[in-house]
Chain A
């Protein structure tokens, strides 16, 4: 059993000069056969492995990762968690994620630094505020906390925001999900990795999966940089690279890969204690525990696998930033980066079976995968263990594009992803 983190362990560690801490997960040699192989050790892949072991007793699992764990979109996002989507199917799965996040530090014995500081979505016109009233009410009907705030309410929540009528983007109000907030993204990956590893799951890093082996319509294993590994079931949790691996298994996905950029400023003293999102400009911002302002915005709207962004999107995001928060004009950016996101026409995920028997999908989260990590792993693990979809994930099956039962969140989820 792993060392447990506790106040007592910290005190004992201090007495011994903190020399007793062990690595948080093993670096095992890869076996030639596993019951389940998960491709991609990001948040969704590691959570899938963790819940396979914890909820379903399946521990003969390998998570195979071409780089280092949590080094893709899990390490590149803006850490926001929320469940304020419009449709009942969406609120069910995103709120499952948020409820699991609320208990995750205790469940994993690993501090994911969840801070439910609230997320305020801004309305810049009366029409937009009317739309948000409908949205917030739909959320309440679906059992999700949400409330409409007027301009003074927004001003009290975010005093540094320019809300006046003469602003380029005047604010007339907004709506608030108080349970939304941020969580430490790396800690989510590390915590799930540590948890899965403690059940005996092998996490194989620096080992690219180069091909999927399909025999008579059934998955048989994967071909990796370290040779062939057989498996009864294989799960793809590779976000922006889902189309590439699906092509190797011989089918197509309704996925388009785009680059999404994010930015952090130099660290400053606490100035912003909520997450602020403006659907009109696409701009959103929060302040990390280190004091950096963490910002994001629109996609670079053309197919890309480049993991780097382009200047028109940077200019768009930052011009919105300084219009809405004039104080930001004097800040320096410390870093900016890009991740490859898997966007689906109805902006909802694809979870569950693929056209190949024994091959399971978890993709299509677009720009919003981080907030969904616990639910993605939880429901995919159920799908793999029982070969039937989890009830909450059933509406997100791949066949919805043929049946027409789309869950069209494109206009509803705050950002078009």
Chain B
């Protein structure tokens, strides 16, 4: 069981959370000009690193808020959690 530190509620058991995949996915800025490949990248292609992964979780059965987590995908060690609106520069 992962012990996930919600930035608002503190450390809670994994079963209280829902996983939301990779953080900071940016929708094409000019949708009309984006190519099919750019849309595919946005919709389907994801970082899938073996190691440190910046990802989004929701404290579904708690405060209900989304937040970012920096977690290692091999050891499951959690380096940092932060509110979802914190800019990336302060997080990674």
Interface of A toward B, CB cutoff 8 Å: 241, 243-244, 247, 252-257, 301-306, 310-312, 345, 401-404
Contact = CB atoms under 8 A, between A and B. Distances in A.
Contacts of A243: 48-50
A404 to B, nearest CB: 8
Contacts of A304: 73-74, 76
Contacts of A403: 36
A261 to B, nearest CB: 14
A406 B82 CA distance: 35
B30 interface: no
Contacts, number: 64
B76 A303 contact: no
A256 B74 contact: no
A368 B57 CA distance: 27
B75 A306 contact: yes
Interface string B36-62: 110111011111111001010000000
7 contacts: A243-B48, A243-B49, A254-B46, A304-B73, A305-B74, A310-B14, A345-B44
Given A254-B44, A345-B43, A401-B43, 5 more contacts: A253-B48, A256-B21, A304-B73, A306-B74, A310-B1
A132 B2 CA distance: 36
Most buried by A among B39, B45, B55, B71: B45
A306 B76 contact: yes
B36 A303 contact: no
Contact of A303 (B39, B48, B75): B48
Contact of A306 (B36, B39, B55, B73): B73
Nearest to A306: B74
Nearest to A403: B36
A247 B43 CA distance: 19
Contacts of A306: 73-76
B1 A257 contact: no
Nearest to B55: A303
Contacts of B48: 243-244, 253, 255-257, 303
Contacts of B47: 252
B53 to A, nearest CB: 5
Contact of B1 (A253, A256, A312): A312
B39 A402 contact: yes
Interface in B54-92: 55, 71, 73-76
Given A305-B50, A312-B15, A252 B2 contact: no
A252 B42 CA distance: 12
B15 A241 contact: no
A399 to B, nearest CB: 9
Contacts of A252: 41, 45-47
A247 B19 CA distance: 24
Q: Which of B41, B44, B53 counts the most chain A CB atoms within 10 A?
A: B44
A381 to B, nearest CB: 26
Contacts of A310: 1-2, 14
Contacts of B36: 402-404
B14 A312 contact: yes
A403 B74 CA distance: 33
Contacts of B75: 306
- Which of A244, A255, A402 has the largest count of B CB atoms less than 10 A from its CB? A402
A401 B39 CA distance: 9
Given A244-B50, A312-B14, A303 B45 contact: no
B59 to A, nearest CB: 14
A345 B49 CA distance: 17
B50 A241 contact: yes
Nearest to A301: B19
A113 B48 CA distance: 36
A401 B40 contact: yes
Contacts of A311: 1
A404 B35 CA distance: 12
A247 B21 CA distance: 19
Contacts of B49: 243-244, 247
Contacts of B15: 312
Contacts of A301: 19
Contacts of A303: 21, 48, 53, 55, 73
Contacts of B37: 402
A256 B73 contact: no
Nearest to A302: B19
B39 A256 contact: no
A402 B50 CA distance: 25
A257 B53 CA distance: 12
